[in-house]
Amino acid sequence: MNSTVLNIESYDDHSDVAMQRKIVARTKGNTRGVITRLVSPSDLGQLIKPFVFLDYGVMQPSGNTSLGMHPHSGIATLSLPITGGFGYEDTTGKTGIVNAGGLEWMKAGNGVWHDGYAAGKDPLEFYQLWVALAKEEENAPAESQYIDAKDVPIVGPVTVMLGEYQGAKSLIRSAKGMNYFMVQLKDGEVWEYTPDAGQNVAWLSVFKGEVATPEVAYKGEVVVFEESTSSIRIQANGDSSFVFGAAIKHPHDLKLGYYSVHTSREALAQGEKEIEKIGNQLRLLDRI
């Protein structure tokens, strides 16, 4: 069961620093326009699957801010607006705006198209995370959920976006064994995470300040921890914020399409056929 220790301590005070999980990979990703792709399934996604894509972006709420209508299959997308509002539209028929601290969950399953854009008056700072679905879910009907900020559980410094933390459960219907949090620490505070049973994958991405693990992770970086079920202790160097993911490693080799991630060639072909079908319908309506 995960746990937290929130202290104002130095790592020098701990005799077990040598037992801390090492960082085995780090990156600042690749930036194109307003979006930085931090993780993709052809690089770090292989190390931290089911987490297969991670994007970070800042979009101004004026001009053409749309991400563009685009398809997925075999994966689920979680969008977190840190500031501003995230407008959404998807081919399950839902449209609206998720404001800062709320969540958009789009389980693509067999295939879906969706769009996102900056809404409101403030700049949109956001993360988008994609996770590979289990074999029994990858070709299921698409499903979306939109959660208001007031309904997202917060325990101490931890905002629970996926999974569970100290008895607080996310409303999002995601796979068991996978947790995804936003953690906000004051200067010198320490947060410790003890993995749930079988969770051997862990990573974090810093979007404010820097943290020591004891190796330092800097703003704009994603760092990947070695595969282990040992705990992870993180100390803030200055006021710091980051997103953190932990999971039981996805057991299948990833089969990749341009918009899709599946567990087999057959499942990939089925998903790509469905998104092509939906795309043709959108073209008839002059939507893409």
CB atoms within 10 A of CB 206: 23
Instruction: Report yes or no: 91 and 108 within 8 Å, Cβ to Cβ.
Output: no
For residue 4, the model assigns a pLDDT of 56
Q: What is the mean pLDDT of residues 11-16?
A: 46
Average the pLDDT over each of 131-135, 173-177, 219-223 and give the range with the smallest value: 173-177
Decide if pLDDT at 196 tops 50.
yes
Give the lowest-confidence range in 16-20, 70-74, 184-188, 199-203. 16-20
With beta carbons less than 8 A apart as the criterion, state whether 30 and 40 touch.
no
Whole-angstrom Cα distance, residue 237 to residue 228? Answer: 25
pLDDT tens-digit map of 135-144 = 999 999 999 9
CA distances from 122 to 59, 86, 235 (A): 9, 11, 30
For residue range 122-165, list pLDDT tens digits in order: 999 999 999 999 999 999 999 999 999 999 999 999 999 999 99
- Work out the mean pLDDT of the chain and round it to a whole number: 92
Domain range annotation of the chain: 7-271
pTM of model > 0.75: yes
Q: What is the mean pLDDT of residues 243-248?
A: 98
SS3 259: coil
What burial letters (b/e) apply to 93-106, b meaning 16+ CB within 10 Å?
eeeebbebbbbbbb
Secondary structure class of 221 (helix, strand, coil): coil
**Whole-number pLDDT of residue 10:** 42
Given the candidates 3.30.450.20, 2.60.120.10, 3.50.50.60, 2.170.150.20, the CATH classification of the domain at 7-271 is: 2.60.120.10
Tell me the pLDDT band of 19, cut-offs 50, 70 and 90: low
